[in-house]
Chains A and B, each alone.
Chain A
Amino acid sequence: MPSSVHSQEHDQSMVDAEPEIDPVMLDEKRVVVLPGSSETAASFQFEGEGHTMGNALRYAIMKNPAVEFCGYTIPHPSDAKMHLRIQTTDSTTAVEALEKGFSDLMDLCDVVSEKFTAARDQFNEESSNRMQS
């Protein structure tokens, strides 16, 4: 299983002498820059990722006006690897564009979460009112 989702925040009391970090989190998972990269153009390899992150990240990075090209591929279906290619203008670097992509995607998640909760609470309230009347 991809260890990229392995994490939970745990409530722990000081008495419990448990490992401080989730052991599965220790698995080395780092972005690898594929050979042949320059400042403004690079291909990154994400291990254990697929279309879920790949396409969403591609979208977030393409939304950046300083990015000339962004695309992702899964070179082989039996390798759990995702390649992401970014080419930018001179005003930024490929790594910066990638970082901004992550940040934008996280901001987007916050907005979706917030609005979803609001819509659900309103819906629940309305339906309970309807039940009463």
Chain B
Amino acid sequence: MAPLVPSQEELQRRRIIDINAETVTNIPSTDFPGHWPGESHGWALDKFKEGFKVEYHRNDPHEASFSLIGLDAAVANAFRRVLMAEIPTLAIEYVFVHNNTSVIQDEVLAQRLGLIPLKGNVDGINWMRWYRKPSEDEDSTEEDGPSDFNTVVMHLDVECTKNPNAHPDEQDPRILYNNAHVYARDLTFSPVGRQDQYFVGDGAIRPVNPDILIAKMRPGQKIEMELHCVKGIGADHAKFSPVATATYRLMPDIKIQRPIIGDDAKKFAKCFPKGVIALEPVTAEEASQKGSGYEGHAGEQKAVVRDAFNDTVSRECLRHEEFQGKVKLGRIRDHFIFNVESTGQFESDALFLEAIKVLKLKCTRWKRGLSDLMA
């Protein structure tokens, strides 16, 4: 028996998650074999390829927005989770305090330093490996401990002094003293070993934003530290997360089921963000159609959906008596609008590709470990 093919109308209904005044219904995906009798929903790569679509909305170095259409929530969510917690980045992990006479305590200062996003040659960062703490045991191997391929060394050496050239009435400490404020730009990178092949010129390891305030000092105070940056992932510590935010939302869907005309239409448009609902005059043709609800309203304004993309799905329109039964809100189940904001170590679009790579790598790993089960 050939598999049953559901009607377009039915498929459309399954694609929408209903958003009602008080509840959200039709939530779970049902496109699995055995769910709908007689229908085939088995995995087919060519079918997926055909149905899957990517639309790009925005691509800036620090922020990207794009839609993935034709994907299941389980997979979209995996990408989002990988983006936040499993893409390796570089951050300050070990701080060796040689001298710190500033008022900010060593441990607080070290914590602040860790959170500074760093950037540098991406190839170099990918070339780097995981740092492994030297074990306490006698038989620890030589691979443990810092090396050029797992640790980037930076220094923070600043001393606050009086500025002899300052005007005697000067009030601003930044002019009155030298180095009264310590900024991220004061971090200096000291390449070791083969790091000077990767991290040179524009590729040098440096803070993404040089203007981050690290500490404040007064004359006579001094900070001397050696900072070791290692690779890590967001699951271990949020400072390793390559994204500021990585989110998705489902594409809103608004259906006007019965005509909303005149003053009601104006009120209806006000229930939504600007640009979502437009007002258009009722055409003579519509007005002449019996049972359309437009009879005798030719020339009046009617509400139409112009662009549901910007809707917040606030459900405001469902609170009003006059729109009861005239509008249906929903979200499209397989249309994910991603928003990825990079902290600056990687370009935001490269981050998503990196997330796909990491997910695939995890699969490869586990699959390989499966081979001895198969025997």
Complex Cα distance A63/B40, Å?
Answer: 10
Among B41, B43, B55, B369, contact of A104 (Cβ-Cβ < 8 Å): B43
Complex Cα distance A67/B35, Å?
Answer: 12
Contact A18 B149 (CB under 8 A): yes
How many Å from the CB of A3 to the closest CB on chain B? Answer: 9
Asked if A22 meets B365 with Cβ closer than 8 Å, knowing A116-B66, A123-B56, the reply is: no
Contact B81 A51 (CB under 8 A): yes
Complex Cα distance A122/B54, Å?
Answer: 11
A53: B residues at CB distance < 8 A: 78, 359, 362-363, 366
Contact B364 A106 (CB under 8 A): yes
A34 within 8 Å of B (CB atoms):
no
Contact A10 B129 (CB under 8 A): yes
Segment of B44-52, B295-303, B317-325 engaged in the interface with chain A: B44-52
Tell me the interface secondary structure of chain A in the complex: helix
B129: A residues at CB distance < 8 A: 8, 10, 22
B360: A residues at CB distance < 8 A: 105-106, 109-110
Complex Cα distance A6/B232, Å?
Answer: 9
- Residues of A90-105 at the interface with B, using a CB-CB cut-off of 8 Å, are 95-96, 98-99, 102-105
Contact B369 A30 (CB under 8 A): yes
Q: Number of residues in B with C-beta < 8 Å to the partner?
A: 65
Complex Cα distance A23/B311, Å?
Answer: 49
How many Å from the CB of A106 to the closest CB on chain B? Answer: 5
Complex Cα distance A112/B45, Å?
Answer: 11
B25 within 8 Å of A (CB atoms):
no
B367 within 8 Å of A (CB atoms):
yes
Asked if A10 meets B127 with Cβ closer than 8 Å, knowing A52-B81, A55-B77, the reply is: yes
Contact A111 B56 (CB under 8 A): no
Contact B370 A63 (CB under 8 A): no
B1 within 8 Å of A (CB atoms):
no
B144: A residues at CB distance < 8 A: 23
B236 within 8 Å of A (CB atoms):
yes
How many Å from the CB of A40 to the closest CB on chain B? Answer: 14
Among A8, A23, A116, contact of B132 (Cβ-Cβ < 8 Å): A23
Complex Cα distance A31/B374, Å?
Answer: 11
| B74, B349, B353: residue with the most chain A Cβ atoms closer than 10 Å | B74
A7 within 8 Å of B (CB atoms):
yes
Asked if A31 meets B373 with Cβ closer than 8 Å, knowing A1-B236, A65-B34, the reply is: yes
A98: B residues at CB distance < 8 A: 370
Among A6, A62, A96, contact of B130 (Cβ-Cβ < 8 Å): A6
A124: B residues at CB distance < 8 A: 59
B214 within 8 Å of A (CB atoms):
no
How many Å from the CB of B141 to the closest CB on chain A? Answer: 8
B344 within 8 Å of A (CB atoms):
no
Contact A23 B81 (CB under 8 A): no
Among B45, B55, B365, contact of A7 (Cβ-Cβ < 8 Å): B365
- Residues of A5-57 at the interface with B, using a CB-CB cut-off of 8 Å, are 5-8, 10-11, 18-19, 22-24, 29-31, 33, 46, 49-53, 55-56
Complex Cα distance A67/B32, Å?
Answer: 10
A73 within 8 Å of B (CB atoms):
no
Among A4, A18, A19, A117, contact of B353 (Cβ-Cβ < 8 Å): A117
Besides the known contacts A50-B81, A113-B353, 5 further A-B residue pairs in the complex with CB atoms under 8 A apart: A31-B366, A52-B359, A55-B77, A59-B72, A116-B356
Name 13 interchain pairs, CB-CB below 8 A, sorted by A: A1-B236, A5-B88, A6-B130, A8-B88, A8-B128, A49-B366, A53-B359, A63-B43, A104-B43, A105-B360, A111-B52, A120-B349, A124-B59
